[in-house]
Each structure stands twice: as structure tokens, then as C-alpha cells.
A and B are shown apart, each in its own frame.
Chain A
């Protein structure tokens, strides 16, 4: 255990405002992407998508967070667990050509016979009505505003700071685009804009917070899936929500990034945390994460310096030795 971060950079007159954050409850998200647009509108960010989400099999064409998409709604389709019933499948397909084709009404022989596709197997395992989609999950992803923030630790210019609200922001007038924060984020959030050259990410609407306005995404969210407020209050509510969902039989509900103890904490606790009902990997989130600098830098530096000293010594030794031998 150690004390709270001492990194807060901005101090304004009056009481410290305390930590503010997001609680994103995926069980009430309807996947409307309002947060994505509200964020772009308020922060005046450009469209950067336009790629049809091939292979994602869902309505997600944003793909991931980026330097100009600071909210991103994941769509996850989960098939229902299904007891194979080959007999039923065979019966359903039986009327088709040789039991190999679905009997699309009124087509009969119209559909070409496809030897290479085992439709029986598909009907059995995948496409039966009973095997219809079980759940379609939505999760609005955002910068986590970590307590142990990798990007903040990495930034060499001080462009990234921790604000008085204990959020992490990039100061766009400082960032010189070194790009080190990009691989330093364990959640793949921060990105350097290919045209502009600066790194950018969610600021938790730092400007709006100054004037007592909710961040744009939380305000726009039609179903209050994105909740904003004092961190402690959010965590309390979120814990109550998990317990309530457990009581309703949704045993897999858990908090991602808050309410953990000791070493289970994600990056020391996430300022923007989530209520999920599936393992985090479904949403592209790592199961464990921490600031990679805090995790690795001391050991790596020690190893590097030791190796450096050794190498310098080796240079001295090899040359001195060579000269001595030559003199002999």
C-alpha cells in the first residue's frame, strides 16, 4: 500500500474539488453511439471512420478509440449455448435437395447444390432458431483516467498532467508528439493524430468541469449508461448495482476498475470504470493492467545501468588488456 498520487498539477483557489469520474453501466446501454457524437460535437473532433466493420459482425464501424474518437461503443454478439440436435436439423432440412439444402420455401431446386458446405452441420450448430443470438452487449469505452496512468508517467514534456479532478489530460499546447504515451497505455486509449501530430484523448471534458457542466457524453447518454459524478459516490452506487444484479440472478456482473482490493486493482483504480457482465476480453479490455512504467521502469533501469557499467568496464578491461599484452 502506498499513499494517493501526489501528481496533481492544477491547484485553484478554494477547496480541492475531489475526484470526478465516469461509471459506465453496460447493462443499461442501448448502443446508440450518442456518446461518440456528443463527444465529437463538443470537442470539435473530425470524423475518422468510414470503414465498414468487416468481420466484426455488428454495428461497430468505429473500431477502437483513436485520436479523434474519444468514445467508442463496442458491440459484442454472443450466441446462445446450444444443445446439438442433429435429428431436428435433419428433419428441418430434409425436404430440401438430398437433405443438403435448406428448403427455402418455393425454391426447391433453385439454390445450387453446394457440396462444400455442410448445411446440416450449420443448421445443427449455428443457424437454428434455438441458436439465435443470446445476448448483444454494448459498452461505451473511454479513457480510464487511471490512478497509475501509463501515459502520464511516460510523457516527457509534461503535456500530460493530472488535474485537480484527478483526471488525466493532454495539454494540447505542450504536446510535441513524441508518441511515447501511445504504447505506454495498457488500454490502448491514447493515440497520436496522423495529420496533426499531437496525442489526444478524452479530457473528461476538463473545460466543462471548470464551469460545473457534466461531460458531453454523460450528459447526452439517453439511458444514463454513462454516469458522471464524484468518484466515491459513483463507486458506492456501482457496488449497489452489482449487488442488485446478483440478486436478480445476473451472477456475472462485476465492476471493471473499481471496488477491488490490493493488487487486484486495475492501474490503482480507474477513474472511469465499468460494469460488465462478460470477461473483459470481450470488450478488448485487459484482465489486469497497470502503468507499465511503474511496473517495469525500476527493474529495467537497474538492469540497464548495471549492464552499462559492466560494458564500460569491459571496454576498459579489453583495451587495457590488449595494450598490456602488446607491451609484453
Chain B
């Protein structure tokens, strides 16, 4: 819904009626979207005729002047005004029916959760590369580095696709704004892509030491790339997100690690690493630990969310999250019981974790919409900061 299709309705009307007849502009005044009317003075440096400058007209026309009305005549008492506001705003319970909407749901479409998923894989793969490198498995590390760069590759295009004005993607790098997770994330994504790509390039050029250093750097960036998406959601006014502020980034890191490990593991299998290879089992362990962490953290988080947690159970996001949990649990069980089940059983949990990670991302982003539109929850939680 965030992208309107075709030209807006007023545009069609305007185009139909556009024209100048005998020097007279007859184009219908039906408005333009997305910006205030022109900010350029018709004549540079000129003043506006018909008005007195410096807001004098407003002062002249003020209706409730102290000399002629009793609008604000009573003498003020210290602290009375603040106390009145406390009386009306301070109660932890909402005393009246809520007339929503209070806040606005996000306008993001499928690109964003999908990007979160890819970013997670890239982060996880970077961690895997670091692990392989630390374990001395250079070949696997090379594969993991390539997975990382391969996963981060679609990230940029997806983010650009989601923009209302994709052609202005570069405006993201106009400034570095530390307090905006989106800005930091964009810079981090760029840095991560650069270091990751450089690491792969170094591999190809066989600059071993350089590749190693870049892998460490990529993994370090990954700690933010994998978590900032959680920070980004947690730093909004949406109750289900912001009430999960300490949990959402770790949860995202967990799924990131697991999904990155899973893709690396699958990639290793595809490139001929034997099933009994320690990297594969190590990655399997990492997947399981991460997904278990995710399950535990989610459970704790949901338990403490209270009314804000309603959004995690309702509608399509609720179903997605339930499916994700089921996939995760099944994967964990399969992994635990099916150590010798052949290739299918070996890979199935990884695929399940990947699917679960995807469902988690869509679920969480979707739950943000549900939560923002749960006027009662928004209003209630506003009274309990």
C-alpha cells in the first residue's frame, strides 16, 4: 500500500484542464503531493504586499487581547498549570475511550523484511568466516566470505526498491547521523559490503593476511549490521517494537547468526565439503545454539510485553511468528535426533532455520503495523513509560 499506482487522481484532473487561454492560466488548482507549495519568492528579495512585516497583522488582529477581554484574566498560581496537566495525563490508566489513530503504522513493504533477512545471513556468514578463520579452515572461511558478500548484495537493491524516491538513494550518504539507526545502518551496510568484498578480492588475489584482517573488520561491522535492524525497530513509537528494546536486537542477532551459519553450511555442502567436516558440525552447533537463544529470548520478551504483545499473536504476523517458532523447534529437534539421517536430514534443519528466520522478519515487521493500529495498547502504554 505504500506505493500508489499510476499518477495521483489530482494529477489526472490537472493534466486534463491544463492550459493558458488569452494569457490566462486555467490549470485547475488541485494541489501537489509530498511538498509544500513553492518556497521561491516570485521576486527575489521583494517583500509581500498587503501585509505588515514581522507578524504585525497577527498581533493587530488577535481577538482576545488582555485589554479588551477576560480571555486569560485570572492571576496565575505557581505550579497550578503543571498540576492540572499531571491530573489529566498522570494516571496510569486510560480514563476514557481512545479515539485513534494515535500513531501511524509503518509504510514498509516486503522489501524491508527481506532485506533484514539477507542482512542477517550476511552478518551470520561474516561471523562464520571469522570462526572458520579462527579455526584455521581457510577454505571454508573463503566460502563464508563469499556467502556474506553474496547475501549482502541484494540488500542494497532491496533498500533502494523500498524507498519512496529510489533515485535519491545516495541521499542516505549525504550525512552521517549517529542517532539515526537508519543512517548508521546504511553506512554500516556500505562499509560491510566494502570490507566483505575486499576480503573476497583479497582471497582471489591470495593476499592472505589482508583477507584475514578484512574478515575481522567485516565481522566487527556485522555485530552492528545484524543488530541495527532490531535497534531501528526498537527506536520507534510502535509499542511491540519499542517495548522489546533490549530483546529485539539480540533476537535479530540470533536469527542472523543461525541463518548465516545455515547458508554457509549449505554452501559448504554444495561446494563439496564432506558432511563429517568439523566446520559443518561447528556451524550446525552454532545454528542450534543461536536458534535456541532466539526461542528463549523471544519467550522471555513476549512474557514481559503484556498488552503490547497482543500484536505478536494476531493476524498474519501472528501466524507467521507461530510458524517461525514451529519451524525453529522442529529444526532443533531434527538436529538433535537426526545426526545420522543422511543429506536430507542433515540439511533440512538449516533450511528450516532459514525459513524461520525469514518468517520472523516478516512477522516482526508486520506486527509493527498491527501494534501501531492497536489504539488502546498505544494509549495505555503511553501512560506507563
Contacts and interface: CB of A to CB of B under 8 A. Distances in A.
A182 interface: yes
A321 to B, nearest CB: 7
Nearest to A241: B72
Contacts of B71: 241, 244
A63 B33 CA distance: 18
B222 to A, nearest CB: 7
Contacts of B61: 224
Contacts of A297: 179, 181, 231, 234-235
Contacts of A185: 103-104, 237
A316 B130 contact: yes
Interface string A276-294: 1011111111111110111
Contacts of A253: 84
A14 to B, nearest CB: 12
B30 interface: yes
A300 B238 contact: no
A147 to B, nearest CB: 15
B333 interface: no
A45 interface: yes
Contact of B32 (A46, A155, A255, A310): A46
Contacts of B128: 315, 319
B72 A243 contact: yes
Interface residues of A, number: 130
A304 interface: yes
A196 interface: yes
B164 interface: yes
A158 B58 contact: no
B160 to A, nearest CB: 9
A252 B88 contact: yes
A318 B282 contact: yes
Given A46-B30, A154-B180, A213-B51, A323 B77 contact: no
Interface in A193-233: 193-200, 203, 205-207, 211-214, 218-219, 223-224, 227-229
Interface string A157-170: 11100000000000
A303 interface: yes
A59 B75 CA distance: 37
Tier of interface size on chain B: 35 or more
A76 to B, nearest CB: 6
Nearest to B375: A284
Given A191-B104, A212-B55, A244-B73, A287 B34 contact: no
Interface of B: 1-4, 7-11, 29-39, 41, 47-48, 51-59, 61-64, 70-77, 80-82, 84-91, 94-108, 123-124, 127-128, 130-132, 134-137, 162-166, 168-169, 171-172, 174-175, 177, 179-183, 185-186, 219-220, 222-224, 226-228, 230-232, 234-238, 241-242, 245-250, 252-254, 256-257, 261, 277-279, 281-283, 285-286, 289-290, 368, 372, 375, 378-379, 382-383, 385
30 contacts: A28-B64, A42-B37, A44-B32, A172-B35, A176-B166, A177-B165, A188-B372, A194-B107, A213-B51, A239-B76, A252-B84, A254-B84, A254-B85, A260-B82, A276-B88, A279-B96, A294-B179, A295-B385, A296-B234, A300-B248, A304-B231, A304-B249, A307-B254, A315-B130, A318-B282, A319-B135, A322-B135, A322-B278, A323-B137, A326-B281
